[in-house]
């Protein structure tokens, strides 16, 4: 797939992997729509993409608000054109034991981590089919391969994302639409091994323990630009010294 001129939608684009992926796709020539809630961080990410020489559009949206998600896609089509790349990098969690987890919190995690990727895929599929192909990268987690305590909502949605991806891949293949799941391990972001305060105190962790998000973004960019006839169905992308993986 030729990235130059392609329209890409990236969720969770204000920080971490989503932000790094937005920059990397823009460097490859894509026109990138950045979806995220935090307007201040989103504006900074938009500026970073533009400083890298790319075309960017910041689209503030709460992925738990499904009507807002639909409106955001309409805006992208109107301002940038039909999407050919979708990277669902956003994720949320409400940690804690299952018996103490409010149902409302569980349902919000489901909306952000699972329902929003479904809806976004549903909305971009017709555009990709009309273009003769496209690619969707669903960012899961090693928590989508192995569950652990105090993360029932997160693990449940990340496991479910695999099933959604496989179903979408089966539906998309006849139309040249590739759908991929990646399972990142620890990354050097506030979502990974260290929160922002800890990073400020300790500096970035060694990459063999927590991958720089730019390196995982490089892999996502490679997937998007891979030959149209080649499908990578899933991949675990983890630091070499993370226990238990691959």
Contact 70, 47 (CB under 8 A): no
Residue 154 annotated among the catalytic residues of the structure:
yes
Closest CA to 94 of 150, 136, 169, 132: 150
Peptide bond into 201 cis (omega under 30): no
Residues 6+ apart with CB under 8 A from 54: 23, 25, 26, 27, 29, 30, 31, 32
Closest CA to 14 of 28, 34, 31: 34
Catalytic residues: 154
């Amino acid at each position: 797939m030729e990235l130059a001129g392609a329209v890409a939608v990236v969720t969770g684009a204000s920080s971490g992997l989503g932000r790094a992926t937005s920059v990397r796709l823009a460097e490859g020539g894509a026109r990138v729509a950045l979806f995220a809630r935090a307007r201040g961080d989103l504006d900074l990410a938009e500026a970073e993409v533009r400083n890298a020489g790319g075309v960017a559009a910041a689209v503030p949206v709460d992925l738990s608000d499904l009507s807002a998600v639909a409106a955001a896609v309409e805006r992208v089509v109107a301002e940038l054109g039909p999407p050919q790349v979708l990277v669902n990098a956003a994720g949320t969690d409400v940690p804690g034991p299952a018996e103490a987890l409010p149902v409302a919190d569980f349902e919000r995690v489901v909306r952000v981590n699972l329902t929003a990727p479904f809806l976004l895929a549903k909305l971009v599929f017709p555009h990709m089919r009309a273009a003769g192909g496209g690619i969707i990268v669903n960012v899961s987690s090693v928590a989508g391969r192995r569950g652990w305590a105090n993360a029932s909502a997160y693990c449940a949605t990340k496991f479910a994302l695999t099933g959604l991806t496989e179903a979408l891949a089966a539906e998309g293949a006849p139309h040249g639409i590739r759908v991929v799941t990646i399972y990142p391990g620890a990354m050097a972001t506030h979502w990974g091994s260290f929160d922002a305060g800890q990073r400020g105190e300790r500096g970035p962790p060694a990459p063999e323990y927590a991958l720089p998000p730019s390196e995982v973004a490089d892999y996502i960019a490679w997937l998007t630009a891979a030959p149209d006839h080649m499908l990578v169905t899933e991949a675990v992308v983890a630091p070499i010294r993370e226990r238990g993986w691959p």
